[in-house]
């Protein structure tokens, strides 16, 4: 079974702090994704990566950056957290060989910025 | 732009009844669709998928129907159980999306005992 893990289930940070969200997958997937999920807005793609050191902006990249130094790990960085970044953050991965269609999700990190 | 939407935000059914969750999509180039289930406090979990060259696919207690003519997707759950209570998302994939899935808003399924 594919396993996608996220470093924290719940996180509380203060406005202006630098926040790191870590995601690790154990199935050698090339593609990795970061989403945020908000009531009424569904899942919105922040950034994705097709390979190590590669990254592409999703639909809402402002205020975020990412890092992919190793194939299994994809980090989301909030350079200076703001209250409007309070949300559920979901990481996902998929296998390029099958077209990258089926994405497997981690359990999510609920981030609160106060 | 493309969008994927679900017709109803909340669906309430009696335990044992069949459930039907609907989804409309707008990109006729989409060639792959997935249904996800998300339980409270958890990440979305893959339920079933279907490719555009099919119009029906069955799994264990679930069936997905695809009507490309009207760009409509549905998820049918047979003999709905309390454990089926969750938010259900449809997602579409088009090759032109460069590997990105487009998700619908989600429908909350409530199962009454």
Give A54-102 as a DSSP string: --EE-S--TT-EEEEEETTEEEEEESS--GGG-EEEEEEEE-GGGTT--
Nearest to A31 among B42, B99, B104 (CB): B99
d(CA B109, CA B93): 24
Percentage, residues of chain A above pLDDT 70: 95
The residue of chain A with its CA nearest to that of B93 is A101
Work out how many domains chain A is built from and give that number.
Answer: 1
pLDDT above 70: residue A9: yes
d(CA B79, CA B91): 24
Average pLDDT, chain A: 92
pLDDT above 50: residue B111: yes
Would the CB atoms of B103 and A90 count as touching at under 8 Å?
no
Residue ranges per structural domain of chain B: 4-112
The residue of chain B with its CA nearest to that of A102 is B34
User: What is the pLDDT at residue B94?
Assistant: 79
Nearest to B43 among A50, A58, A105 (CB): A105
- Chain B CB within 8 Å of residue A113 CB: no
CATH of the domain at A91: 2.60.40.10
Q: How confident is the model at residue A2 (pLDDT cuts 50, 70, 90)?
A: low
pLDDT above 60: residue B80: yes
Contact B23, B67 (CB under 8 A): no
User: What is the pLDDT at residue A97?
Assistant: 58
Average pLDDT value for residue range A24-31: 92
Which residue range(s) make up the domain with A48? Answer: 4-113
Token pair recorded at residue B40:
């409270």
d(CA A47, CA A55): 7
Q: Which CATH superfamily is domain B4-112 in?
A: Immunoglobulins (2.60.40.10)
User: What is the pLDDT at residue B7?
Assistant: 54
User: What is the pLDDT at residue B95?
Assistant: 75
Chain B residues whose CB is inside 8 A of the A103 CB are: 34, 101
Average pLDDT value for residue range B56-65: 96
pLDDT digits (tens, 9 = 90+) for A53-99: 999 999 999 999 999 999 999 999 999 999 999 999 999 998 875 66
Interface of B with A in 28-47 (CB under 8 A): 32, 34, 36, 41-46
């Amino acid at each position: 079974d594919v396993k996608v893990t996220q470093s924290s289930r719940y996180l509380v940070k203060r406005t202006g702090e630098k926040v790191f969200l870590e995601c690790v997958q154990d199935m050698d997937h090339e593609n990795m994704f970061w989403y945020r999920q908000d009531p009424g807005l569904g899942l919105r793609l922040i950034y994705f990566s097709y390979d190590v050191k590669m990254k592409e902006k999703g639909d809402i990249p402002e205020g975020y950056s990412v890092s992919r130094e190793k194939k299994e790990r994809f980090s989301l960085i909030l350079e200076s957290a703001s209250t409007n970044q309070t949300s559920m953050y979901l990481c996902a991965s998929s296998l390029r060989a099958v077209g990258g269609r089926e994405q497997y999700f981690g359990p999510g990190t609920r981030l609160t910025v106060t | 732009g493309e969008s994927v939407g679900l017709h109803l935000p909340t669906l309430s059914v009696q335990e044992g009844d069949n459930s039907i969750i609907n989804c409309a999509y707008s990109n006729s180039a989409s060639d792959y669709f997935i249904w996800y289930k998300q339980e409270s406090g958890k990440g979305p979990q893959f339920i079933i998928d279907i490719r555009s060259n099919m119009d029906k696919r069955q799994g264990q207690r679930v069936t997905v129907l695809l009507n490309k003519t009207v760009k409509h997707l549905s998820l049918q759950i047979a003999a709905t159980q309390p454990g089926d209570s969750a938010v259900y998302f449809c997602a579409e994939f088009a090759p032109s999306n460069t590997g990105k899935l487009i998700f619908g808003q989600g429908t909350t399924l409530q199962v009454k005992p």
